[in-house]
Chains A and B, each alone.
Chain A
């Protein structure tokens, strides 16, 4: 099946720093989504991108849908302790199927 390459796998940063992570695919997607997972919980949707080139913000989070439809990035500005968690990208296939393909996740750790 399709694979998403998400990087980096983990990040260790200081509180207040900006964070950037990305996903790439060998295939195109119609939709890119970014999720965050806290320990012991399911992933929660942060941002959804529906159009190539689209740049969307949600508070301190900004995500972009790549022009080629094969990549996306997520930026977090001025990180705070509650940003700790695992971030997943996900792509929705273009043939009308509802299923999402997930990246392997980026584990974010913040030193206060």
Chain B
């Protein structure tokens, strides 16, 4: 199993641009999570899906952030327009029900 696959690994973009982060969960895992990690705030849950359905998006900072899971093998997190304060490492994680998460390697986003 290749694990949770995230792309890109690094993204540098200018303020105001649209950014799309991608995640492929582990096959058979029916829950998917998007986290953001910063030095100041640690690991913050942004949104999670069960069986492709968004369950809790209360952690999404504002309307500039959106997430989709069109099928069981793919999810995107989009930021439009991006701002410098969005700079962080964004992690995707997946899990079968009842077990700990498996995290991807993350996308390091820098907005200049």
Task: Please give the residue numbers on chain B whose beta carbons come within 8 Å of chain A beta carbons, in ascending order.
Answer: 4, 31, 33, 42-43, 45, 48, 50, 55-56, 91, 93, 95, 97, 99-106
Selecting from A12-20, A42-50, A70-78, the interface stretch reads A42-50
Q: Contacting B43 at CB < 8 Å: which of A40, A41, A88? A: A88
Cβ of A98 and Cβ of B31 under 8 Å apart? yes
Q: How many inter-chain residue pairs (CB < 8 Å) link A and B? A: 50
Cβ of A40 and Cβ of B101 under 8 Å apart? no
**Docked CA distance A97–B105 (Å):** 24
**Whole-angstrom distance from the CB of B19 to the nearest CB of chain A?**
19
Confirm or deny: A62 has a beta carbon within 8 angstroms of a beta carbon on chain B: no
Taking CB atoms, residues of chain A closer than 8 Å to B43 are 43, 88, 102
**Whole-angstrom distance from the CB of A68 to the nearest CB of chain B?**
21
